[in-house]
Amino acid sequence: MKWFWYASPQTFYPLAGRMAPWFAAAAALLCIAGLYVGLVVAPSDAQQGEVYRVIYIHVPAAWMSMFIYVVMAGWAAFGLAFNTRLSGMMASALAPTGALFAAIALWTGSLWGRPTWGTYWVWDARLTSELILLFLYLGFIALQAAIDDPRRADRAGALLAIVGAVNIPIIHYSVVWWNTLHQGASVSVTRAPTMAAQMLTGLLLMAFAFWMYAIAVTLVRVRCIIREREG
Amino acid sequence: MSGDYLFYLWGSYGVTFLLLFLEIFFLLKRKREAKT
């Protein structure tokens, strides 16, 4: 693959157009499979009953909100270091979807918290740091929108994105570092799963569905940005 | 699926898919505008 060839917005534009429908189709298929496994196949939770099924939305959305921020900050840092036009465009294209997943994680977490914790919201370290992540996304979008020159907007946004990246390990380790109402990690790569296989399958299918969705909409959005900036 | 938790469960799924739908709707609108 000619990586440097596709680093140019003009050459990346048609490639993004060819890739987006495939990622969108993958997202739709994975979402159908994930919803079927999560809502039909997976058993009820012994303690929480049916309401636990919120995790099939909540956990993948929370993962994606953090993952997209890391990718966005990576693109932003790359653009700042090498002054590449596409990097700033990719960071700008990722931010709205990252903000959307952060908002979904907060909303679904709140609706899950009410019946299980007895409250929609607490100023717990995990919840508060996720809320700060949403504000970082919104701040990044607002900062870029406030600056007319796109290249200057990219540089200013990049600084905010890089500084804000410190919040990602704080979100991840908040349930370890502090005594939080929020439970610990649902899935870990270092230990065996503690949930039923069908539950884990549904969770991973929805996570991959959201991942494919994020790639598809980002590719479409970056094509819009390329057209808007470079005609 | 029934019980006292319908509001919380479907409130989560409904709002999530509504937001995803809205993102796609506004993105396609932006795509049309960018082409003109």
pLDDT confidence of residue A230: 85
For residue A43, give how far its alpha carbon lies from the nearest alpha carbon of chain B (Å).
Answer: 11
**Set of chain B residues whose Cβ sits within 8 Å of the Cβ of A227:** 34-35
Kindly state whether residue A130 falls inside one of the protein's structural domains.
yes
Q: Can you tell me the distance from the alpha carbon of A153 to that of A92, in angstroms, rounded to the nearest whole number?
A: 10
Give chain B's mean pLDDT.
89
DSSP 8-state code for residue A43: P
Q: How do residues A44-58 score in pLDDT, each as one tens digit?
A: 888 888 899 999 999
Quick count: other Cβ atoms within 10 Å of Cβ A150?
17
Please check whether residue A172 lies inside any domain of the structure.
yes
pLDDT, one tens digit per residue, over A71-87 is 999 999 999 999 999 99
In a domain, A8, yes or no: no
Is A128 within a domain?
A: yes
Of A101, A95, A34, give the one whose Cα is nearest residue A61: A101
Determine, yes or no, domain membership for A4: no
Parent domain of A80: 15-43+52-184+192-230
The answer to whether residue A10 is domain-embedded is no
- Mean pLDDT of all residues in A120-128: 94
The tally of domains found in chain A comes to 1
Task: Determine the number of helices (DSSP H) and then strands (DSSP E) in chain A.
Answer: 7, 0
Whole-number pLDDT of residue A5: 72
Whether residues B9 and A96 touch (CB distance < 8 A) is answered with no
How many Å is the maximal CA-CA distance in chain B?
A: 50
What is the rounded distance in angstroms from the CA atom of residue A102 to the CA atom of residue A104?
5
Residues of A in contact with B15 (CB under 8 A): 104, 107-108
Identify whether A210 is part of a domain.
Answer: yes
CA distance A7 to A1: 11
Model confidence pLDDT, tens digit, residues A178-212:
888 887 777 776 777 778 899 999 999 999 999 99
ipTM of predicted complex: 0.91
pLDDT grade for B3, boundaries at 50, 70 and 90: low
Nearest C-alpha neighbor of B9 from the set A105, A73, A111, A2: A111
A3 occurs within a structural domain: no
Contact A58 B31 (CB under 8 A): no
Strand-pairing partners, residue A45, are A49
Q: Find which of A26-35, A49-58, A108-117, A222-231 is predicted with most confidence, using mean pLDDT.
A: A26-35
Chain A residues with CB under 8 Å of B31 CB are 220, 223-224
Task: Choose the closest CB to A50 out of B5, B15, B27.
Answer: B5
pTM: 0.93
Share of chain A above pLDDT 90, in %: 81
Is the CB of A108 less than 8 angstroms away from the CB of B35?
Answer: no
Does A100 sit within 8 Å of B20, measured CB to CB?
yes
